[in-house]
Amino acid sequence: MAKRSLKANPTGIARAKQAFQRTGWTQEYLASEVGLETRQSIWKFFSGRPVERHIFIDICFCLDLNWEDIAEPPEVEPLEVHVDRVSHQIQKNKANEPALFKTASEVDQWIEQIRKTRFLQVSRQCDGLHSPLLLSQPLQVSQTYVEMEFTTELAHQRWLDIEALEELFWQNTADALSSLTPTARLPLNAVIEHTSRLVVIGSIGTGKTTLLKHLALQCNAGHFQPHCIPLLITLRNLSENQKTTTFTLKNYIIKQLTQADITYEQAEIVLQAGRVQLFLDGLDEVAFPQRIAQEICTLCQQFPNLPIIISHRATGIEAQFSGFRYVEIADFSDTQIKKFARQWFDRYGQSEKNYQQFIAQLEDPKQLSLKQLARCPLILLGLCIISQRAGSTLTDESRLYRTLSNLLISRWNQIKGLEHILTVSNVELPPLLGWLASQMLEQDQIFVERSKLLDSITEYLIQETSLSLSFLDCHQTSSEILRTILRQTGILVEKSQDIYAFTHLRLQKSLAAQHLGLKAKHGRQKASAFKGLVLPLGRVDGIPSTGSSSGQSLVDKIRQRLTHSVTSTVNTQI
């Protein structure tokens, strides 16, 4: 069991004092940051005296220190003392066996009480979904969920070079960047059958939140972990708690449980018995991911029997949780696409004819890139909504791809209340992504190494912005920007370790067109000139996407279309 108090070791005290001096704070101010009314615990901390464990950890967090490096190592008791103590505890447990059985029976009663009290609350919390586009009717998990499949080989941890990735790309159909993921796919039952602790990885819009809500509803109905009560926590909602109080994840969970008229001690026993199925959604979306990751590790140590499922976007994974199995959500198969679309069209009263027309458009050989985009559940949902509004036709490709790229870059984060991440160090991400897309196409690149990507971002900061930064500052800002792009948008992903690509080649071309359109607009041409621009679809229309051997790069062909579109519009207006 973890000690209830900690004290700093001599080296730790020196490091803590140096960190404290760098802040320029007073002890009273540090106490207020930790959530204390007096500075007594702060004084004890710097004096090497015992401090309550959670206060010790919070002080280290405020000073940007690793509390395990600062704390005095636990004392190791002599072997004979340890043996005597364990023997005494075993005899004590034997004497109290009837009481233990009574406690187990009482735990069942508490679980039933919590389940009855929270049943409707869990149903309401978990059956609703965010909609990527405005809908007159709410989305429900129970009516849209399609059984997911998973891979155990995480794409961003593979060790493939660019040449190997390009070979895989050209072995697949056009724009099939999503097909570069590992092929071995496992059903949900195979993933959760033999593990109680799981980290679910997935790019933006792959259905991580939907999966956790589905499992919480199944748990609530007694079909998954029937001996447990479900507790779904959206982690980004905890950000304010961390800023103003002495926050611990344990206390937050117990507060939720005690709303069902059980005591704090009873809630602790329920957690110790592993009778709460905990779902932690969106570790990547919190303001202080390292702090929350530390809280999760502490919770795992305090309650070793507690089953936990965590969701996290596919990039920016810094925390490693011991004892957890990591899986990644696989792209939708053809069968999953059809099942999802069928449920959607049935749910919203669309005819069989509309459904068949929608599937036929996805199966059209001229729309292979659209089919690949539909393998992302979020984009497939967007296509279903657009199809419903457009009368089952998806003909305005230029507008369609602008909408889908905007959905992955900004719209989804705005819906989830994360729009603040669209600007980093006064640099707006959407224009930067358009510039990067254009640069990569101009150099006939689908995949790019991390170092070159950082150089490109630095070049953008110097040439395309008005920021007054040194080259070193630009490079540091570039690292921050890239980290944010990978964690908070779904348009640029890590396909192998330190090698990146736009999630779909067709969306990369759309972004490049928008960038070049804005450039031409600055040349006094009207933006309406670009509404009809549809970029080439790689192999589908005979124009190579990369490695063109015709003597003319892809970006030159894009510019030709832009120039022709602008000239035609101007002549028409004249």
Asked if the structure places residue 58 within a domain, the reply is yes
CB proximity list for 244: less than 8 A, separation 6 or greater:
35
In the chain, the number of structural domains is: 4
Same-domain pairing of 278 and 382? no
**Are the C-beta atoms of 573 and 472 separated by less than 8 Å?**
no
Asked if the structure places residue 76 within a domain, the reply is yes
Which pLDDT score is estimated for 247?
78
Domain range holding 298?
112-329
Which pLDDT score is estimated for 268?
93
**In angstroms, how far is CA 88 from the centroid of its own chain?**
48
Mean per-residue pLDDT pooled into runs of 10, the chain (574 residues): 75 90 84 83 92 86 83 62 51 46 76 91 86 67 90 76 78 52 79 90 88 95 94 84 70 91 91 95 81 90 95 73 91 93 83 87 82 86 80 64 72 55 67 89 88 90 81 80 78 82 82 79 45 36 37 46 43 35
Asked if the structure places residue 402 within a domain, the reply is no
Which pLDDT score is estimated for 329?
93
**Beta strands 325-329; 149-151: pairing state:** antiparallel
Which pLDDT score is estimated for 224?
94
Asked if the structure places residue 102 within a domain, the reply is no
Same-domain pairing of 180 and 125? yes
Q: What SS3 state is found at 419?
A: helix
Phi-psi label, residue 498: left if phi above 0, alpha if psi -120 to 50, beta otherwise:
left
Strand partners, 496: 499
Token pair 């970006």 in the structure block, residue: 555
Same-domain pairing of 368 and 430? no
Same-domain pairing of 252 and 303? yes
- Of 350, 377, 372, 349, give the one whose Cα is nearest residue 362: 372
> What b-and-e string marks burial along 69-89, b requiring 16 or more CB atoms within 10 Å of the CB?
ebbeeeeeeeeeeeeeeeeee
Asked if the structure places residue 404 within a domain, the reply is no
Q: Which two tokens stand for residue 287?
A: 């303001």
Q: What is the DSSP letter of 407?
A: I
Same-domain pairing of 119 and 89? no
Q: Which 3-state string (H, E, C) describes 8-36? A: ECHHHHHHHHHHHHHHCCCHHHHHHHHCC
CATH number reported for the structural domain that contains residue 15 in this entry: 1.10.260.40
Phi, psi for residue 547 in degrees, rounded to 5? 60, 35
Same-domain pairing of 299 and 316? yes
Which pLDDT score is estimated for 215?
96
Last residue within a domain, chosen from 51, 68, 97: 97
CB proximity list for 137: less than 8 A, separation 6 or greater:
348
Same-domain pairing of 138 and 184? yes
- Of 196, 496, 146, give the one whose Cα is nearest residue 331: 146
Q: Which two tokens stand for residue 540?
A: 């589908």
Same-domain pairing of 427 and 544? yes
Asked if the structure places residue 232 within a domain, the reply is yes
Q: State if pTM tops 0.75.
A: no
Same-domain pairing of 89 and 143? no
Q: Is the dihedral of CA 516, 521, 524, 525 positive or negative?
A: positive
Asked if the structure places residue 1 within a domain, the reply is yes
Same-domain pairing of 444 and 483? yes
Which pLDDT score is estimated for 561?
45
Alpha helices per DSSP H over 391-470: 397-406, 412-415, 429-442, 450-464
Last residue within a domain, chosen from 329, 359, 375: 329
Same-domain pairing of 269 and 126? yes
Which pLDDT score is estimated for 2?
47
Asked if the structure places residue 403 within a domain, the reply is no
- Of 217, 234, 213, give the one whose Cα is nearest residue 120: 217
CATH number reported for the structural domain that contains residue 123 in this entry: 3.40.50.300
Same-domain pairing of 340 and 323? no
